[in-house]
Amino acid sequence: MDRSQIKNILKEELNKSDEAKIKKLARDEFDKLVKKHLSSTDLEKKVQELVVKNLKKDKPTKKEVASITKDVLINLYKVLWQRKNFWSNNIENI
């Protein structure tokens, strides 16, 4: 093989099925490694520990989480109040 043939081979574009196969192989390999090194409970515990640790240290993040939580609760109560007839009848029937 000469240089021009190698260049032509390297310039060949991947078609959609090749890309899909590569993505599937990469995903499968990633899943296999995650399952090998971390069980789901270990992963969940580690993520929770990291979140709690970082929230304790970072005051601006605490304030941001509190602000988001406050906005969510306010909007929830507004929706519940505006659609009171929808859910209050169901509660009375219980």
Are 31 and 64 in a shared domain?
Answer: no
Are 53 and 63 in a shared domain?
Answer: no
pLDDT value of residue 15:
64
pLDDT value of residue 72:
94
Are 64 and 81 in a shared domain?
Answer: yes
- Number of domains within the chain: 2
pLDDT in tens, the chain (94 residues): 788 877 667 666 666 677 788 889 889 998 888 777 776 677 788 888 988 888 788 888 888 888 999 999 999 988 888 887 777 776 666 6
CA distance 1 to 58: 60
Give domain status of residue 3, yes or no.
Answer: no
The range of the structural domain enclosing residue 79 comes to 59-94
Are 67 and 53 in a shared domain?
Answer: no
pLDDT value of residue 94:
61
Are 49 and 69 in a shared domain?
Answer: no
Are 32 and 63 in a shared domain?
Answer: no
| pTM score | 0.38
Give domain status of residue 81, yes or no.
Answer: yes
Q: Are 61 and 54 in contact (CB under 8 A)?
A: yes
Are 27 and 52 in a shared domain?
Answer: yes
pLDDT value of residue 12:
67
Are 26 and 47 in a shared domain?
Answer: yes
